[in-house]
Amino acid sequence: MKVVIVGGVAGGATAAARIRRLDEQAEIVVFERSGYISYANCGLPYYIGGVIEDPEDLTLQTPESFFSRFRIHMKVHHEVTAIHPDRKTVSVKDLKTGEEFEESYDKLLLSPGAKPVWPGLPGMDSDKLFPLRTVEDTFRIKEFVDHNKPKSAVMVGGGFIGLEVAENLRELGMDVTIVQRPKQLMNPFDADMASFIHSEVRKHGVKLALGYSVEGFEEKDGGINVLLKNREAIYTDMVVLAIGVTPESSLAKDAGLALGLKGSILVNDRMETSVPDIYAVGDAVQVKHYVTGEAALIALAGPANKQGRIAADNICGGDSRYLGSQGSSVIKIFDMTAATTGINETNARNAGLHVDTVILSPMSHAGYYPGGKLMTMKVVFEKETYRLLGAQIVGYDGVDKRIDVLATAIHAGIKATDLKDLDLAYAPPYSSAKDPVNMAGFMIDNISKGLKQWHLSDAANLPRDGSVTLLDTRTVGEYSRGHIDGFQNIPVDELRERIGEIEPGKPVYVICQSGLRSYIATRILEGYGFEAFNFAGGFRFYDAVMNDRALIEAAFACGMDK
């Protein structure tokens, strides 16, 4: 059997090695148009920032090491220009010599990946404007930074790559601005959770221009102007463009393969395309979202690796199936860690799901053990069924551990109420006897048994006409340092003695700093016959989100974050 693979990196290289492990006699040829067959593309921003010092550390395998270990022919600087399914060949061009030839195959695997979105705006030909997708892109940016010593940079795009590049350029001492059309960074997160990310980015001196549309670029005085719609241009020394990627599917389209979302390659759960003996994996393919069951594009290394293994199994006569992508991801943002899995509240509602959320602020480990740090967790679940839909966590220590537990729970089909029953490891330096994931489960279990909540989205519409009671159960000192207008203050420890101050027969909307004391207060109030609602997230959450919204709107009105 002869297998030709188009593209290396996560999907193609993984598939090649797996095929060899399953079939020692197979002839395997990989064509890669770049000079690198298997590299750590997730590490590229950290090489620019000097965190990864040796560029060879980015290269996971070389053509020589692949051949030595697996006897696989890895042909770099070779571009496949056409697929001929009728005669089971591909046209190939040697980019160094210009030679063109055809290569036959019994099985063909496409792993072309995705290409950066490169909009047709004026000034895109500037040598001060950089994409970041490949090792070659990275070396070009690194060379520019080392040679020109730029003092400022604009990052267009506020996703994973955008934030990682912004952090690394900022750590080099550069003045960095992130320009983003949506009014938040990191769209996998809900806007309220993104508020904490914004705060961390601002704390480290990165300016945010959120809600701004880029209309072009113009070189000026040795630098470059980023031209903005209805805004003053931003002058900078360099621009990195990371506004997203689009499937690299031109080969598949020209060969008549069926396409899906945004021109992606359509595959089934065996990673088979619409043409016999042609498989496809990675960022170029349409997948099923594991939570919603809907078609999706999810460009992440983990799914690409799994798909490569599954395609290899099936090429070698097996029957492996890809169950779908869940979108689990984590990112370092200066000192903070942010992570997500499943779908967020915004997308769940847009999909027509009837959802609720719990928001909590647990410590990373036992409070009495030194060094614990707060994290903010948002868990999304379906009402009535309590199906676990997604989670987002921002914090410092222990974020990755909890998101992986929640990702596993979603994959296993565990109900949100059953999170309380998970038997998770505990020792004071690592967790609490009630792990944050268990705490989320306790809260959702309470809701399933009748506990009522109110949310940030309800705050502006709470009546101030006396028809409801608005109650803040924090201490007098906490209340005096900031509170929501219209809320009276009765500390929770005084509530029983002062219950007569609350008018009977009216619903009571309760808030505290984190949600714990207000929860206790709602139980007390219910014991006295009141209908009580606990605020999801506490005043700490409310204050962070509202302050962030005010900063975004003020910056949008006057120019940008200063």
Q: Tens digits of per-residue pLDDT, 448-471?
A: 999 999 999 999 999 999 999 999
Q: Is the pLDDT of residue 290 over 90?
A: yes
Q: State how far the Cα of 138 lies from the Cα of 406, in Å rounded to an integer.
A: 34
- How many alpha carbons lie under 13 Å from residue 1 in its C-beta half-sphere? 15
Tokens 């296993």 appear where? Answer: 412
pLDDT tens across 508-538, in order?
Answer: 999 999 999 999 999 999 999 999 999 999 9
Does residue 63 carry a pLDDT above 90?
A: no
H or E segment to which residue 170 belongs:
helix 160-171
Interval 471-497: pLDDT, tens? 999 999 999 999 999 999 999 999 999
Residue 203 has pLDDT above 80, yes or no: yes
Neighbours of 24 (CB within 10 A): 8
Question: Residues with catalytic annotation?
Answer: 42
**Residue 455 tokens, joined:** 């949310």
Q: With 0.85 as the threshold, say if the pTM is over it.
A: yes
Q: Are 217 and 224 in contact (CB under 8 A)?
A: yes
In angstroms, the CA 341 to CA 328 distance is 4
Q: How far apart are CA 162 and CA 239, in angstroms?
A: 11
DSSP structure class, residue 379: E
Amino acid at 318: G
Q: Work out whether the CA dihedral 74, 78, 79, 85 comes out positive or negative.
A: negative
More confident residue, 435 or 138: 435
Is the Cβ–Cβ distance between 264 and 286 less than 8 Å?
Answer: yes
Token pair belonging to 537: 């997230």
